[in-house]
Amino acid sequence: MATLLLTRSEVERLVDPAALVADLSAAFRAYSTTPGLRAQRVRSSLNDRGSATVLFPGTVAGIPAYTVKVHAKFPDQRPAIRGVLCLHDAHTGDLLAVMDSTHLTAVRTGLAGALAADVLARAGAETVAVVGAGMQGEHQLRSLAMLRPLSRVWAYDTRPEQAQAFAARMAAELRIAVEPSASLEVAVREADIILAATWARTPFLFLPMLRQGVHVTTLGADEPGKCEVAAEVMREAVVVCDDRDLAVQMGAVGGAGLSHEAIDAELGEVLAGAHPGRTSPSEITVFGGVGLAFQDLVVAWEVYRLASTRRAGRITDFLA
């Protein structure tokens, strides 16, 4: 049985985020509007420094494969999230590929956040606050810039030097004004769109801080006990998630102490037009995503297809 092995750098060379937008959007629509397998995430704390998470099964109609992903999360390490993704033949179970999942996960999460911000933010929204100037903050901003014209960005991090480096790096790459902010309140005060990706376990975005009509994407709350957006914001907002049950079990909704009743729609329902999402320029909208296994498959299948065509990676036989 031939299994393709791909390192992080090989995956990075093969991923083109812009080429994945349409397929990922279609997968979100199908997930929320047609019967099928629902996502599963199994998590275990290893100690006071890290956790292990398994995402499975990643399935998408039309792709003859499924994924199982195993991740370790250790916030003190760089990168903080690391793991492997196994790509299996959907008909035989054969292990088609094993690939590093670090970059793959960051890309698909960035694209999901950007799809949500693009469909939920009000028309003409072009100023952004990035809270959490790490790898995921980069991917969030980079992906959003592919979908919407942006005019100005503020970057905030609890480590000021991180925000400064982020601002310099992203300004050069995107050729827009990106400024570090020493104050969270200042960073979000004038933002039309707020992108949050932190390790916070207590909320830091409260209603008086936010301008009318703002959109908030919160991606840090992807495990039980993590929270970025206060319950008072969600009670006033149109709340959209990627999966209703997971949003309560381990996402932004449950992290804020709220239940299913706080959720207005899944992202796939909004993208499909089954739910209107924002209905007024003055509404606050919130997207909270935990990350779903089908997102991994969309990216992994493209990586596998291109790797096979370009003869990237190396072949092994685990059954030998």
Q: In the block, which residue shows the tokens 């995956």? A: 11
Q: Does domain 121-288 have CATH number 3.30.2420.10?
A: no
pLDDT bracket for residue 103 (50, 70, 90): very high
Across the beta sheet with 177-180, the strand order is: 177-180, 152-156, 127-131, 193-196, 215-218, 285-288, 238-241, 265-266
| Same fold? 3-105+293-316, 121-288 | no
Is the full-model pTM beyond 0.75? yes
pLDDT bracket for residue 48 (50, 70, 90): confident
Average pLDDT over residues 141-169: 98
Task: Tell me what the pLDDT averaged over the chain comes to.
Answer: 96
Q: Computed over its alpha carbons, how large is the radius of gyration of the chain?
A: 19
Could you give the percent of the chain with pLDDT greater than 90? 92
Whether residue 57 has a cis bond before it, omega within 30° of 0: yes
Q: What is the pLDDT of residue 307?
A: 98
Pairing of strands 193-196, 265-266: unpaired
Question: Structure tokens of 297?
Answer: 């498959």
Q: What is the pLDDT of residue 78?
A: 83
The CATH fold assigned to 3-105+293-316 is ornithine cyclodeaminase, domain 1 (3.30.1780)
Pairing of strands 127-131, 95-100: unpaired
**Rounded to an integer, what distance in angstroms lies between the CA atom of residue 277 and that of residue 294?**
22
Burial class (CB in 10 A: 0-12, 13-18, 19+), 275: middle
Give the residue extent of every domain in the chain.
Answer: 3-105+293-316, 121-288
